[in-house]
A and B are shown apart, each in its own frame.
Chain A
């Protein structure tokens, strides 16, 4: 991967987009400006000295998107077909959230325009409110989505990357073992690992053994699907299974207090 704004000698240059095909390009970005609760109350009541704060910030954001190429050195001037700037007053966190989306049919992406719109809308909010609050803080300006173009679609993930993969009582990068049955009668302990855990949204559960139509892996799958349709995923594609940590198939028998794990194909090494 290379930085497209650097040429082979590492110098900044503008990318020639003349030969790129035109396509529908969309991008959305967001950010926020945090302020004192009193400032936010004044803003929502329209009691600030400079007048209608949000309407002004909206126009500022739209204007900024159109003039992004004047601010960011290697950006192309674009004939945007749509710029929208929206606000949400977040009283719980005492801040104004700013959203911007841009669209065009063209040869370059519009994420810089959306990010610029959010940035300048936030700065305008600061300017409009600074007479009563100088502690305001602008933050978390980021791209949310991007569609079209060679690099394809982008959807920002929830910021989970900083949290290690942990399930149950395990350490980072591990899965806990030996969790007890949380049912009094005979039961089977089921674990879902790695991507399967994330897709199903569950890491472990216990099931009464007598809820299985047959006391084997196939019966366990049927009982899980009956319990919740999302477990149909266990019967789709390549899902592997281990009973008491030994690879198993649908006919593998299950007895009381067995540990059954479902997981995707392995990818270590």
Chain B
């Protein structure tokens, strides 16, 4: 399930929903990203997230499909929020279920790495000293590159 929404989400509720009625799932890994009150500048007071409707959902769908092709997964949930958020607010949720823990851990990590470098979201931070658009990070590209060096790492 893939959702782009302004409203907050409840990670626990989403995980319960993903697992409801299933007894074939042996592992579930959940990642929640939160708004920090510091980033490129201290004193971040809010964050505005913009996206490209249509392309966003398609890009997320492609990332999830690729994860499903690499690991044996039994359920994936990706929720990304847009609009204005405050420090401490949840931004992104990735829940991955599998029969065993390793594919669940790896696929969750993979989805976040690809989401950060391929899904059309843009962050604008509002700080005490003004507003600015967040710059891309070299480390995010390095993280995403880890999955390209050995394509067949499903285990």
Contact = CB atoms under 8 A, between A and B. Distances in A.
Contact of B52 (A151, A164, A172, A263): A263
Contacts of A171: 6, 83
Contact of A170 (B42, B53, B80, B91): B53
Interface string B115-155: 11111111110100111011111001000000000000000
A175 B121 CA distance: 11
B49 A268 contact: yes
B129 A154 contact: yes
Contacts of A198: 133
Given A193-B122, A267-B123, A268-B51, A1 B58 contact: no
B53 to A, nearest CB: 5
Q: How large is the interface on A (under 10, 10 to 19, 20 to 34, 35 or more residues)?
A: 20 to 34
Given A1-B42, A160-B131, A165-B124, A265 B136 contact: yes
B29 interface: no
A242 B84 CA distance: 25
A267 B120 CA distance: 8
Q: Is the interface of B mostly helix, strand, loop or mixed?
A: mixed
Contact of A164 (B48, B54, B121): B48
Interface in A221-250: 238, 242, 245-246
B108 interface: no
Interface of A: 1, 151, 154-157, 160-161, 164-165, 170-175, 177, 193-195, 198, 238, 242, 245-246, 261, 263-269
Interface of B: 6, 33, 38, 42-43, 46, 48-55, 58, 80, 82-84, 91-92, 112, 115-124, 126, 129-131, 133-137, 140
